[in-house]
Amino acid sequence: MCPGSYDPVTLGHIDIITRASEVFDSVVVGVVNVPVRKATTVFSAEERVAFIEAEVADLGNVQVKPFYNLLVEFARENDAKAIVKGLRAISDFEYEFEMNQLNRKMAPDIESTYLMAAPQFSFLSSSGVKELATFGGDLTGLVPAAVASRLQEALKR
C-alpha cells in the first residue's frame, strides 16, 4: 500500500511507487479522499487517481484506488502486508514517526516501511509544486507533463 494525498502526484511519488513495484508482488496506490490537515485539494480524488494511473500504466502490478477510511482499514480491505512511504529529509521523520505509532497501535500486523527519496527528488513536495505553479514557475522535471499543465491552469494567478 502506497498511501498519500497526491495533490498532485509528483515525479518523486512516481519514483517511490515504481521502486515499491519492484520490491513487492503487488502495489495498491491509495489516494486519500478526505481532507487530511488540509481544507481542500486542488484536484478531486478522481483526477488524482487518473493522473497516477496514466504514469503507472506500464507497471503491471500497480493499481490506484481512492479511499475514504482509516489507512489501516483500507490496507486490510486490500490484504496489504505493508504500508510503503517515501522519506525525503529528517523533517519528514517526526510526522511519519507519529503516523507509524498510530497505525501500529491499530494494526500491529501491517508493517510500515520507508524508501529513501532519490537525491533528485529529496526537495520535492506537492505543496512546493503548488506554490511554484501559483507564481508561474517551471514545473519541468517535478511533476508529469499532464499534471503541470492542469496545475498551471488551476492555480496561475
Considering only 99, 110, 118, 154, the residue that binds ligand PNS (CB under 6 A) is 99
Strand locations in 18-143, DSSP E? 27-32, 62-67, 82-87, 111-116
**Residues whose CB falls within 8 Å of the CB of residue 33, separated by 6 or more in sequence, listed in order:** 45, 66, 67, 68
What letter would DSSP give residue 120? G
Does residue 80 touch ligand PNS according to CB under 6 A?
Answer: no
Does residue 3 touch ligand PNS according to CB under 6 A?
Answer: yes
Which of the ranges 21-29, 45-53, 96-104, 139-147 carries the binding residues for ligand PNS, by CB under 6 A? Answer: 96-104
Phi-psi category of residue 136: left, alpha or beta, with phi > 0 → left and psi -120 to 50 → alpha = left
C-alpha cell at 67: 479511499
Which of the ranges 21-29, 44-52, 95-103, 130-138 carries the binding residues for ligand PNS, by CB under 6 A? Answer: 95-103
CB of 23 to ligand PNS, least distance (A): 18
Binding site for ligand PNS (CB under 6 A): 3-5, 32, 34, 36, 70-71, 99, 102-103
